[in-house]
Chain A
Amino acid sequence: MNTITTLEELLAHAHALESEAVERYEEMAEQMEVHNNPELAELFHKMAAVERKHVDKVEHLAGDNPLLRLAPWEYRWQTQEAPESVPVGHSHYRLTPYHALSLMIACEERAQAFFAEVARATPDSTLRTMAAQMAEEETHHAELLRQWRSRYPEPEPGWEVDLDEPVSQE
């Protein structure tokens, strides 16, 4: 169900979607730093920086109009969290670049589906045009990420197995 009816609401959603993506990628970068996976830490920082540019872009689109903030549970996502955030529980300390890029592609695909649905459901032509444009951009991002991922081989099953037991802390 989608009830985004105004341009302000669409921009509010786009802004939250990109800002929360930045936060989640930064969180995952920190996780990888803590768990000694520097290659992935760098990749997630890089992606956070890309998403930050998308936040700026939405702010630019809003111009002088203040961006609305909604209560966290009031956003009309079709998913539990904002669609461009990697869901809690999908991270792992032994992730490879192939996995990370797959998670990122899935984020762009969910964002695409979200904007496409807004465009499909609205009778307002200005809203439809902007939402369709946003959906198209997400398609493009997913495509770029797919090209990036193609440089890495798909990891063998069992990639997450660690023969060292976890350490007890306290």
Chain B
Amino acid sequence: MGKPEVITPKHTAKDYKSAVKPVWCPGCGHFGVQSALFRALAYLDLPPQQVAVISGIGCSSRLPNYTACYGFHGVHGRALAVATGLKLARPELTVLTVGGDGDGFSIGGNHFLHACRRNVDMTYIVMDNEVYGMTKGQPSPTTPPDWDSKIAPGGTGINPFLPLAVALASGANFIARGYAGDPNDVARMLVEAIRHPGFSFVQVLSQCITYRPEEKEWKHSVHASPEEPATTMVAAAQRLVGEDSLTTGVLYKGERLSYTAHIHPVQRSLAEIEESFVL
């Protein structure tokens, strides 16, 4: 191990915290994701007003309220659509989208596919607790088929969605998985994700201690990938299909060019535009 990297940022993690106290259950993994995010932003030394955190609905989607950055707590499943518009209109901002597996893979599933495909330069963090936390524990697309609960006795019997493989197939340019119990490792991934051009997807396994208390065991079962990130889709596909869903690390780094808006100079004056709205 070489010398540790010394940094000299003006910001510390505290600078990104707002005065709003999180309503998450004590012990929730989302606290770990929040710590990781603040540490990553401090490392990158980004002024809070240069960062926008966009979300949908869910416990995880409350994160923008807890940051001192710009934020938009939007409509369930539509965070990526809002974030895409924002990034294209204000490319100088660092745009982060955050949310849960329900928000991103159920109601927002279609937006997820197309955000990967469009490859706009932003980072999407899914705080995946494999359940709908906010609405009291319904199974989500990543819930194991045999998870027994009051609402789905005996389990749903439905195969879970593979978010990383779907992201790859849909065109995401950076794919990583972290674990909320290891915020420093997640911070490292977020720094890489934010720096990597194009659409970066980071799934963070984030335990729901209320509805999925067994997820506390993740701390014993997650394991870091010993391999470097794959750099071709073929290599990444071999890695992401059939893996155990508990392997952490940066798993894929692609080289697709990110999509940018083609902004044309305004041809018409404001008065002319207003006029065209008058019937």
Contact = CB atoms under 8 A, between A and B. Distances in A.
B26 A32 contact: yes
B3 to A, nearest CB: 8
Contacts, number: 103
Interface residues of A, number: 36
A97 to B, nearest CB: 15
Contacts of B35: 23, 88
Contacts of B136: 165-166, 168
A34 B23 contact: yes
A89 B209 contact: yes
B8 A69 contact: yes
B182 A74 contact: no
A69 B9 contact: yes
B258 interface: no
Interface stretch (A45-53, A75-83, A122-130, A146-154): A75-83
A92 B210 CA distance: 10
Interface in A1-39: 1, 3, 9, 23, 27-28, 30-35
A87 B181 contact: yes
Nearest to B189: A73
A72 B43 contact: yes
B239 interface: no
Given A71-B5, A92-B209, A168 B181 contact: no
A70 interface: yes
23 contacts: A30-B22, A31-B22, A33-B21, A34-B21, A35-B26, A68-B6, A69-B6, A69-B9, A70-B6, A71-B7, A71-B43, A72-B43, A76-B1, A80-B183, A80-B184, A81-B182, A87-B181, A88-B29, A88-B32, A91-B27, A169-B23, A170-B57, A170-B135
The 10 closest A-B CB pairs, nearest first, are A91-B26, A88-B32, A74-B4, A31-B26, A73-B188, A72-B184, A80-B182, A72-B39, A91-B27, A30-B21
